[in-house]
Amino acid sequence: VRIGATELPALLTVLGSIGLVEGAEAAVRGGAATADITLRGVPADPEITAEASIDRLAADRITVPSARVSVSSRARAPALDFIVTAPAATVEGQRLDNIRSTGRLDGSFLRLHEVAVAQPDGAGRVLANGTYDRSSGAYTFSADGSGWLIAAAEGQPVSGIATLRVKGGGTIEDPRA
């Protein structure tokens, strides 16, 4: 099945109305997606795979010129494995390159196996992983980074090269690092 160029806010509104996504339609302001969806295997429980291209994603404080999303699942299983890649993005005014995220959504439980980002003009790189349970609000995370160039800017006079190692967990109501 091929889904032609579809505006993301409209697509997310439809997916939200049938319970497949929650809250994303409010955050995404623009962008378009095309996708190829394939069903394989036995009709009673086919494997479902999808490859999507996203262009011009605009959300609160995030812009992504282009991204690729790959997902796979079984029709009767509540789990969805995913890979998201983007050559570049801007988050809170900061440019990030070589973005990659892999994970699994199993019911209300999200596991991020890997989130990797790099700086465009330096050797800075951050690798992270974590979990989030939507039903309880509980989360865990771990992030390691090195060589991250911090440039002074208006209202932020600090500059240097940072190394990062952070672990944490808790709930949305009681965060801990």
Contact indicator for 25, 16 with CB cutoff of 8 Å: yes
Q: Is the pLDDT of residue 19 over 80?
A: no
Q: What is the DSSP string of the chain?
A: -EEEEEEHHHHHHHHHHTTS-SSHHHHEEEEEEEEEEEEES-TTS-EEEEEEEEEEEEETTEEEEEEEEEEEEETT-SEEEEEEEEEEEEETTEEEEEEEEEEEEETTEEEEEEEEEE-TTSS-EEEEEEEEETTT-EEEEEEEEEEEEE--BTTB---EEEEEEEEEEEESSSEE-
Distance CA 166, CA 128 (A): 9
Distance CA 78, CA 28 (A): 25
Long-range contacts of 158-162 (CB under 8 A, 24+ apart): 161/124, 162/124
Q: What pTM was estimated for this model as a whole?
A: 0.84
Per residue in 111-168, pLDDT (tens digit) is 999 999 999 977 899 999 999 998 899 999 999 999 998 888 788 888 899 999 999 9
pLDDT at position 25: 67
Per residue in 122-138, pLDDT (tens digit) is 789 999 999 999 889 99
Distance CA 127, CA 136 (A): 25
Per residue in 65-95, pLDDT (tens digit) is 999 999 999 878 878 899 999 999 999 888 9
* Span 36-40, average pLDDT: 91
* Span 48-58, average pLDDT: 94
Q: Is the pLDDT of residue 43 over 90?
A: no
Tokens, residue 109: 């439980």
Q: Is the pLDDT of residue 18 over 80?
A: no
Phi then psi for 143, rounded to 5 degrees? Answer: -140, 140
pLDDT band at 35 (very low <50, low <70, confident <90, very high): very high
